[in-house]
Amino acid sequence: MARIFALLILVIPALLAGLGIKWMRDTVFGILHPPFLSLWLQFLIGFLLFGAGLSFVGGFVFYHDRKRNKVQKRFQKR
């Protein structure tokens, strides 16, 4: 059961990052979605979602590897 929760914790930020990529791509092609009033705002929110999702997943993987001593010496706990 714990693995299912861990998977859900990783899937939700990954989906948000994917939504951010879609909004940034649509901005490049000039497609404005209803919750936004301008293209630059849509791109900014998409960029923030992508950055937050990517950093969360990356941090999760880094924490997991650090716990099992699979990182370089400079990243290990002292």
Q: pLDDT tens, 1-59?
A: 888 998 898 999 999 999 999 999 999 999 999 999 999 999 999 999 999 999 999 99
| Distance between CA atoms of residues 14 and 8, nearest Å | 10
| Distance between CA atoms of residues 29 and 19, nearest Å | 15
- Ranges of each domain in the chain: 2-69
- From the list 51, 71, 52, the residue with the least C-alpha distance to 61 is 71
Q: Within its chain, how far is the Cα of 27 from the centroid?
A: 19
- The encoded tokens of residue 16 equal 């948000």
pTM: 0.84
